[in-house]
Chains A and B, each alone.
Chain A
Amino acid sequence: MTPRVLLRVLIIGALLWSECTHANEQPLEPEVLAFLQQQQQPLPFAVDFEQQRTIQGLPRALLSSGTLTVAADKVVWHTKEPLDQRLVITATGIQPDGEAAMRGSAVIAQLLLAVLQGDAEAIDKNFSVQLAADCLTLTPKLEQLQQFVQAIESCGNSSIERIQLIEQQGNRSSITFHYEAHNGVAAH
């Protein structure tokens, strides 16, 4: 083997290795990235929401509504009806107003932040992603989360219009967002 052939083999090998490494990482497809960019709102922003929670064993869905404030480092989940309740979601966990973070809530908090903030990098790291029509289906990669969450669906073209949290137990939370009331108003 001449040095030139050897060099060629080495270059091709290095390129193949590089391809393989990238293939293993499976970055988000351009369509998914574009979809996330379309959904993403300038931070911070606030939005009203309605939650319809279907729980196995209950004859009817539980309804609640309130306001969601999404910032770069946290999300404030303020439910106004039927019970007034304020949750602060940060990377370290979910914290009810005036209380310590809920035990073991850090992982789910980080995922909710990723979805609500449209953080493509975090979504890529934590979920397997499937795009169908105007909905993105996110399946958790983390085994400890897979035990509780089957998938998260994020729907809406120009913004997140509806999020659906599908639990392994068969429970389902459908959260619909209404941007009208806060249109053009940045949250503080």
Chain B
Amino acid sequence: MWLRTKFAAWLSIAIVVLLAAGLFWLRLPAVSWQSSLLDTLPQEADPAQQVYMAHQQPNEQRFMLLFTVANDDFAAFATALRQELAELTSSEAEIQPLQQLDAQAIVSIYAEYAGQWASPSDLTTLRENPQQLIQYAQQRLQQPLPLWVDIQQDPLLLSQRLVEALPEPLPNFAAEGPLYVRHSATHTSIVVALQSKADTLSQEHSRTVVAHTEQLLSALTATAIPHEVIRSGLVFHTDAAATQAKYEMTWFGGLSLAFVLILLWWVFRSLLHLLYSLVVVSVSTLVGVTAVMWCFNSPHVLTLVFATTLIGLCIDYVFHASIGASHGKNNWQQVVPALLLGAATTIVGFLLLTLLSLPLLQQLGVFMAAALVSVTGLVLLIPALGLTKPTTLRWQRLHQKVARSYQHVAPRTGSIILVVLAITCSIAAWQTYRSDDAVQLLATSSESLLAQEQEMREQTQAFYDSEVILIKATSMNELYQRYARVHRRLVDWQQQGWLTSWQSWFDYVPTPQQQQQVSDALAQLWQQPAGQDYLAWLGIQPPQANLSSRQQLPKAHPLYENFFYTSADAKQPVVGVIRLRGSTTNNDFTQAIAALNGVELFSPLTQASEALGHYRSQLMQWMMALVILLFIVLSWRLPYSRRQQRYLASLHVSAIIITALSSALAIAALWQPLNAFHFVGAMLVIVLGIDYGIFCASRIPRAHALQAISISALTTMFAFGALSFSQTAAIASFGVTVLIGVAITAVLVPLLTPANSTHSV
């Protein structure tokens, strides 16, 4: 009885808050929040793929600008560009020219292996016509150009020739300081490759980087030197998406919030209701986050993003409870069992998510279950807190009319309508079902940016496909052998037309087999008269073969870390990568790669798409399990006197949910193929459907139940439905599913026969 005092009620809320906050602060130091998309992947993801993805440095932003100027304007434009670049790099955005390979580091590693490494073409010449290499070396020695190899180790200057033959970072562009330049008959193309330490996923950082870059471009425009510019890089897309999202948030978010507040004020005319709704959402969020932190060592920030979307349904319990409490003690006693049954079913439903293999859904399940437990407790305090002000008379009369109009539908007719609709909509959804989990479909970049990106790729050939060949092994030595085996096949695959070109470690360093061949051929040459004459001309002895350094991996090579990845966890495999250009997703190619031990064709985009597909399929399984669970629980707990009535009412509630889900997904599929985000929206539809169904199938007077359901449905439809107009495909998918699903549920639930009806179900 003591809880019925306002003080005791507020005190208990304060205790819950303090307890949750205490547990939150206690656990906070031990928790490391994850932000990488890698951590959202299914737990059974390939360890080698995880090692590769972990090294892709998503936070290191690289972006490029390509300028085209007339040849006559090149000198003046390059000077202006260099000046502006100097200013850009001194700004607070920490933008720097992308570091070109350190020539000193390159030279020192190739000098270390002087006389052991040669290019494949020099190896062929060495074996077939060594005199040609001798002549070249003699010519080279009389040229006025610096030499950096130890001539005693490498009399033929093979290492120096190898460095001069290394693939260029930007083919056909000459490096001139921070600029890469290519001249044609009339025009000069200038590429500026930049990098920033800004976080790729941070809208604020991206905005700063883009703003500084645009300043540079404006300054160049002000020089009045005619030029064209092309932008390329994730930062431009992130900024464009953020600007679009900001625009949408301002308009859609602002309008829907205004509508929700106006509606709540119109219905309750009470600031206390608004305040308490805010308290409930805040406390339940705190409890949810705390529960996630205690259940998971490394929760993901995306859990919070999804959870804060779903947490809105907690307000619905406030509507149900406060409207129930406003109609007196007897009515409140009818509301409590419905509240408890609705909350319990939804909580169990969310706990089912923890059985899935996806970490994000597991964390979401724990968050929502814990949040709903706290919400249930908080709404039971509503009578004690005095939140019993009834809704406005106009609102009450409107719902009495609606309730009466639905009473014209005979229970049997209603039953038939619900079952037939469920079957029909399920068939329609089955027939129209089409899914596409490709992450590219979720891209929101503008046509202009995408066109510039494409143009940059065509002009510079600086980009490789997202698809790579991954080679894995348990040790570096094993990996090195496997890598060399794959490298030898690349030319065959190119001739088959399966790829245009590639970037392999062994384009920069000879394979162990080639090193051996170089060593053998040189040893043979120094025994022959031609070799001996050359050494005599130089006045030196034949070089000693350095076997020990040949057996070591050249880990000091500046490019080593671009091709080989290891994990701090010794149990994880070591991974090597070969980047591809113009690769085809040809079955023969995939099979040829699969035939090699420890080798696979891997695309992060495909992996992300597969992960999204996995989420979609797991959510579908969860929804089916939840509908079955719902039927069982409601058949057991709905307050009908006869068992047959309970089964039938449970069937009807399930039918409404199935109809709402099927029709929402079928209609949404008309716009775009279904993806995981449609099913996240479907989660909201299903849990709201459970609540609406339970309240309409309870002993609560129908008009009272409909008042709360209307507020809930209207606020949800406006808040989430507005998202249907979003330019971001993922958000629009979510919004359209919720809008249609909740609308259909709200229209159909009044067809349920209340438990206190004198009519037979």
Contact at A58–B538, with CB atoms within 8 Å? Answer: yes
CB–CB B107/A173 < 8 A: no
The reply to whether B103 and A147 form a contact with Cβ atoms under 8 Å apart is yes
Interface-facing stretch out of A2-10, A26-34, A35-43, A80-88: A80-88
From the candidates B103, B104, B141, name the one contacting A62 in the complex (CB within 8 A).
B141
Smallest distance from the beta carbon of A80 to chain B beta carbons, Å?
10
Interface centre among B139, B144, B164 (most CB of A within 10 A): B144
Residues of B within 8 A of A106 (CB): 174, 176
A62 to B141, CA, bound (A): 8
- The interface residues of chain B lying within 8 Å CB-to-CB of A144 are 103
**B139 lies within 8 A of A83 (CB):** yes
Asked whether, in the complex, the Cβ of B147 is within 8 Å of the Cβ of A169, the reply is yes
**Chain B interface size range:** 20 to 34
Q: In the assembled complex, which residues on chain B have CB atoms less than 8 Å from the CB atom of A64?
A: 142
Complexed CA–CA distance, A100 and B107 (Å): 22
C-alpha gap A129/B103 in the complex (Å): 25
Neighbour of B146 across the interface among A59, A62, A169, CB < 8 A: A169
CB–CB A173/B144 < 8 A: yes
Whether A104 and B164, one on each chain, are in contact in the complex, defined by CB atoms closer than 8 angstroms, is yes
Residues of B contacting A82 in the complex (Cβ-Cβ under 8 angstroms): 138, 142
Q: Is B463 an interface residue (CB 8 A)?
A: no
Does chain A have a CB within 8 A of B150? yes
Q: Which residues of the partner chain A approach B146 to less than 8 Å between Cβ atoms?
A: 108, 148-149, 165, 167-169, 171
Chain A: residues with Cβ within 8 Å of the partner, total of: 36
Tell me the B397-446 residues at the A interface (CB within 8 Å).
Answer: none
Q: How far is the CB of A114 from chain B (nearest CB, A)?
A: 14
| Bound complex: CA A57 to CA B150 (Å) | 7
Interface string of A75-113 (1 = CB under 8 A from B): 001010011010100000010100000111110100010
What are the interface flags for B523-548 relative to A under an 8 Å C-beta threshold, 1 for contact and 0 otherwise? 00000000000000011100000000
Please report the C-alpha to C-alpha distance between residue A147 and residue B539 in the assembled complex, in whole angstroms.
28
Chain B residues with CB below 8 A from A112, complex form: 144
Chain B CB within 8 A of A55 CB: yes
Tell me whether B104 and A60 are in contact (CB under 8 A): no
Which residues of chain B in 171-221 are interfacial with respect to chain A, using CB atoms and an 8 Å cutoff?
174, 176
Q: Which residues from 208 to 262 on chain B have a C-beta closer than 8 Å to any C-beta of chain A?
A: none
Q: Which residues of A contact B145 (CB under 8 A)?
A: 94, 102, 105, 108
Chain B residue nearest to A105 (CB atoms) is: B145
Decide: B103 and A58 in contact? CB cutoff 8 A: no
A57 to B144, CA, bound (A): 18
- Chain B residue at smallest Cβ distance from A93: B174
Within 8 A of A (CB), among B438-489: none
Residue contact A147 to B107, C-beta cutoff 8 Å: yes
Interface string of B317-340 (1 = CB under 8 A from A): 000000000000000000000000
> Is A53 an interface residue when CB atoms closer than 8 A count as contact?
yes
Complex: A135 Cα to B648 Cα, angstroms: 107
Bound CA span A168–B147, Å: 9
B549 at the A interface (CB under 8 A): no
Please tell me if A160 contacts chain B, counting CB pairs below 8 Å. no
Interface centre among B138, B139, B152 (most CB of A within 10 A): B139
Q: Once the chains bind, are A85 and B148 in contact (CB under 8 Å)? A: no
Cα distance A79–B164 in the bound complex, in angstroms: 22
CB-based contact A59/B539 at 8 Å: yes
Residue B57 at the A interface, CB < 8 A?
Answer: no
Determine whether the beta carbon of A83 is less than 8 Å from that of B142: yes
Is A154 interfacial (CB-CB < 8 Å)? no
Which B residues lie within 8 Å of A103 (CB)?
Answer: 164-165
Given contacts A57-B152, A59-B539, A103-B164, contact A165 B174 (CB under 8 A): no
Q: Is A51 an interface residue (CB 8 A)?
A: yes
Shortest Cβ distance from residue B72 to the other chain A in the assembled complex, whole angstroms: 16
> Which partner residue on chain A sits nearest B107 by CB separation?
A147
A56 at the interface (CB under 8 A from B): yes
Within 8 A of B (CB), among A39-77: 51, 53, 55-60, 62, 64, 77
> Who on chain A is nearest to B168 by CB?
A103
Let me know if A102 and B164 touch, CB within 8 A.
yes
B132, CB-defined interface residue at 8 Å: no
- In the complex, whether A138 has a CB less than 8 A from a CB of chain B is no
A interface footprint on B154-170 (CB within 8 Å = 1, 0 otherwise): 00000000001100000
CB distance from B508 to the nearest CB of A (A): 14
Residue B495 is within 8 A (CB to CB) of chain A in the complex: no
Are A53 and B141 in contact (CB-based, < 8 A)?
yes
A175 at the interface (CB under 8 A from B): yes
Which partner residue on chain A sits nearest B183 by CB separation?
A92
In the complex, residue of chain A having the shortest beta-carbon distance to the beta carbon of B149: A169
Cα separation A173 to B145 with both chains bound (whole Å): 9
A127-179 residues with Cβ-Cβ distance < 8 A to B are: 144, 147-149, 165, 167-169, 171, 173, 175
The answer to whether A77 and B139 have CB atoms under 8 Å apart is no
Closest to A145 in B: B146
CB distance from A47 to the nearest CB of B (A): 14
Q: Given A53-B141, A83-B138, A85-B139, does the pair A148, B164 have CB atoms closer than 8 Å?
A: no
Least Cβ–Cβ distance between A90 and chain B, in angstroms: 13
Complex: A51 Cα to B141 Cα, angstroms = 11
- In the bound complex, do residue B144 and residue A147 qualify as a contact, i.e. CB atoms below 8 Å apart? no
Contact between B539 and A58, CB atoms less than 8 A apart: yes
User: Which residues of A are found within 8 Å of B165, using beta-carbon distances?
Assistant: 103
The CA-CA distance from A35 to B135 in the complex, in Å, is: 40
Task: Answer whether residue B344 sits at the interface, using C-beta atoms and an 8 A cutoff.
Answer: no
A174 → chain B closest CB, angstroms: 11
B141–A55 CB distance below 8 A:
yes
Is the pair A148, B142 in contact by a Cβ cutoff of 8 Å?
no
- Given A102-B164, A104-B164, the answer on whether A56 and B142 have CB atoms closer than 8 Å is no
| Contact yes or no, B142 A79, CB < 8 A | yes
Contact B148 A169 (CB under 8 A): yes
B143: interface (CB < 8 Å): yes
- Give bound CA distance, A172 to B138, whole Å: 16
Please name all residues of chain A whose beta carbon is closer than 8 Å to the beta carbon of B174 when the two chains form the complex: 106
Using Cβ atoms and an 8 Å threshold, which residues of chain B touch A62? 141-142
Partner of B143, one of A87, A167, A168, A171: A87
Query: Nearest-CB distance from A92 to chain B (Å)?
Result: 8
Q: A89 vs B135: C-alpha distance in the bound complex, in angstroms?
A: 21
B107 touches A175 (CB 8 A): no
- Complex contacts, A104 vs chain B, CB 8 Å: 164
Bound Cα distance A148, B146 (Å): 6
- Chain B residues lying within 8 Å of A105, measured Cβ to Cβ, are 145
State the CA gap A148–B144 with chains docked (Å): 12
User: Is there an interface contact between B144 and A56, defined as CB atoms closer than 8 Å?
Assistant: no
Pairwise interchain contact A58-B151, C-beta atoms closer than 8 A: yes
- Which residue on chain A has the smallest CB distance to residue B165? A103
A147 touching B104 in the complex, CB below 8 Å, given contacts A58-B539, A83-B142, A108-B146: yes
Task: Find chain B residues with CB under 8 A from A94 CB.
Answer: 143, 145
Q: How far is B143's CA from A184's CA once the two chains are assembled, in angstroms? A: 27
B139 touching A55, Cβ below 8 Å: no
A74 CB, nearest partner CB in chain B, Å: 14
CB of B325, distance to nearest CB on chain A (Å): 76
Chain A, Cβ-Cβ closest to B152: A57
- CB pair A77 B144 closer than 8 Å: yes
Give complex CA distance A171, B150 in Å.
Answer: 11
With both beta carbons as reference points, the residue of chain A lying nearest to B138 in the complex is identified as A83
Among A59, A102, A173, which residue has its beta carbon within 8 angstroms of that of B540?
A59
A56: chain B residues within 8 A (beta carbon): 150-151
How far apart are A64's CB and chain B's nearest CB, in angstroms?
4
- Chain A residues contacting B151 (CB-CB under 8 Å) are 55-58
CA distance A183 to B176 in the complex (A): 38
Given contacts A51-B144, A57-B151, A85-B139, 10 further A-B contacts (CB under 8 A): A53-B141, A56-B150, A85-B143, A94-B143, A144-B103, A147-B103, A165-B144, A165-B146, A169-B146, A169-B147
14 pairs, CB–CB < 8 Å, chain A vs chain B: A51-B144, A55-B151, A59-B539, A59-B540, A64-B142, A82-B142, A83-B139, A94-B145, A108-B145, A112-B144, A149-B146, A167-B146, A173-B144, A175-B144
What 4 pairs across the A-B complex have the smallest Cβ distances?
A64-B142, A148-B146, A57-B152, A59-B539
A contact set with B: CB distance below 8 Å: 51, 53, 55-60, 62, 64, 77, 79, 82-83, 85, 87, 94, 96, 102-106, 108, 112, 144, 147-149, 165, 167-169, 171, 173, 175
